Structure 1
Amino acid sequence: MGKGFMYLFLIIDWYSGKVIDYELSSTLEKGFVLRCLKRAFSHCKPDIMNSDQDSHFTNKDYLELLEKEGIKVSMDSKGRATDNSQTERFFRSLKYECILLQEFENPRALRHGIARYVQFYNQERPHQSLGEASPVQFYADNDKKIAS
């Protein structure tokens, strides 16, 4: 994609591994994180929101939004990526199964590629930790068991 960076914020359901929502930005301004959260909260709200201690997650607007929505804040220890292993695992999969395999010419192409990958990851990609089910299938199968 030439020079420059893009930043990806995402929300993953730790139960099923499903990517609930994500936002891609060319800057590190906090607005892209807040937009993603508001979009996600319009259709589901977690009891707890876990994150690292990056400035996006320690700023007043982020913390106030979670408090307003009644969501508990959980932050990983500094320098402990393993505390947020589900998210780190997704980023590894995205990198090796999508980003490094394709030549994205511009941010628009990257957005499209990530959108396709997230759909694949959620709906088709088998996950060893889910008994080889996709996140959507795992959730649907276990929802049926709970309802029975």
Structure 2
Amino acid sequence: MRLIDERYLLHPEYGYPRMTDWLREKENEVSYKRVARLMRTMGLQAITPGPHTSKPASGHKIYPYLLRNVEIERVNQVWSTDITYIPRRNGYMYLAAVIDWRSRYVLSWELSSTMDSLFCIDALECALRQGTPEIFNTDQGAQFTSSGFTGVLLDKEITISMDGRGRALDNVFIERLWWSVKYEKIYPQSYSDGHSLHQGLSSYFEYYNNERKHSALDKRTPVEVFKEGALST
């Protein structure tokens, strides 16, 4: 699963057939069925729509994607969230985060041992204590299409946008965040348990928001851009 995760970050177009072939080239004896099962467990799917993309939960309302060709000009214009697999030395956990698209500021994050909707709702409610976005974007996963999650947004009259099926790049800003988190913090270290992982992520997001300068932000930090933008609205 660690190998699959690293490869997927570099090649999000890989579905389970190509991932299996690549693992076999690296002398891993795996079947297509096993790799498909592991990728489902990790919540991974190829970015190209196809017959193996994940399906939203039956009966959940799906909202249209509203952000194609939209210019992101201000803080709190668009927020988004996602879930990613986080490997540990003896197991794994899932990380959910909420990010502001203009500033790249991570408003909140939560860890969970399961991919249920509760920790995603916790992350959302924590983020909303810092402001209110005009549009909130997610994928079509069951966690985000659940009435518990969408209800929080609708109660605050926030417009909901959802990625097209299989299109991870519709949520490109948080995909870049996952790449940074994993290659700068998770992969260089080996966390033995949830407590040490939580401590490591706490220090990383503190650094990411307050010290890590972004070229796309004119060499400013996310917190600088977010606070400046929030004050001007």
What TM-score do you get using the length of structure 2 for normalisation?
0.59
- In structure 2, the residue matched to 1:55 is 142
Is the contact between residue 90 and residue 192 of structure 2 (CA under 8 Å) also seen in structure 1?
Answer: no
Q: Tell me if 1:137 matches 2:202.
A: no
Residues 102 and 43 (structure 1 numbering): CA distance in 2 closer, same or farther, change over 3 Å?
Answer: same
* CA–CA distance in structure 2, aligned partners of residues 142 and 62 of structure 1: 26
* CA–CA distance in structure 1, aligned partners of residues 212 and 137 of structure 2: 24
> Pick from 110, 115, 123: which aligns with 2:210?
123
* CA–CA distance in structure 2, aligned partners of residues 30 and 119 of structure 1: 25
- In structure 2, the residue matched to 1:107 is 194
Once the two structures are TM-superposed, the CA of residue 137 in structure 1 deviates from its matched residue by: 2.2
CA RMSD after TM alignment: 1.7
Is the contact between residue 213 and residue 221 of structure 2 (CA under 8 Å) also seen in structure 1?
Answer: yes
Residues 29 and 121 (structure 1 numbering): CA distance in 2 closer, same or farther, change over 3 Å?
Answer: same
- In structure 2, the residue matched to 1:40 is 127
- In structure 2, the residue matched to 1:73 is 160
Once the two structures are TM-superposed, the CA of residue 39 in structure 1 deviates from its matched residue by: 1.7
- The one-letter code sitting in structure 2 at the alignment partner of 1:7 is Y
- In structure 1, the residue matched to 2:38 is none
* CA–CA distance in structure 2, aligned partners of residues 140 and 58 of structure 1: 30
Residues 32 and 128 (structure 1 numbering): CA distance in 2 closer, same or farther, change over 3 Å?
Answer: same
What TM-score do you get using the length of structure 1 for normalisation?
0.91
* CA–CA distance in structure 2, aligned partners of residues 142 and 135 of structure 1: 11
Once the two structures are TM-superposed, the CA of residue 43 in structure 1 deviates from its matched residue by: 2.7
Once the two structures are TM-superposed, the CA of residue 140 in structure 1 deviates from its matched residue by: 4.5
Larger proportion of helix: 1
- The one-letter code sitting in structure 2 at the alignment partner of 1:57 is F
- The one-letter code sitting in structure 2 at the alignment partner of 1:139 is F
Residues 139 and 58 (structure 1 numbering): CA distance in 2 closer, same or farther, change over 3 Å?
Answer: closer
Aligned residues with identical type, % of pairs: 36
Once the two structures are TM-superposed, the CA of residue 42 in structure 1 deviates from its matched residue by: 2.3
Once the two structures are TM-superposed, the CA of residue 141 in structure 1 deviates from its matched residue by: 5.2
Once the two structures are TM-superposed, the CA of residue 142 in structure 1 deviates from its matched residue by: 5.5
Q: Tell me if 1:18 matches 2:105.
A: yes
* CA–CA distance in structure 1, aligned partners of residues 227 and 107 of structure 2: 15
Runs of 4+ in 1 over 4 A off after TM superposition: 140-144
> Pick from 66, 80, 83: which aligns with 2:170?
83
Count residues in correspondence.
Answer: 146
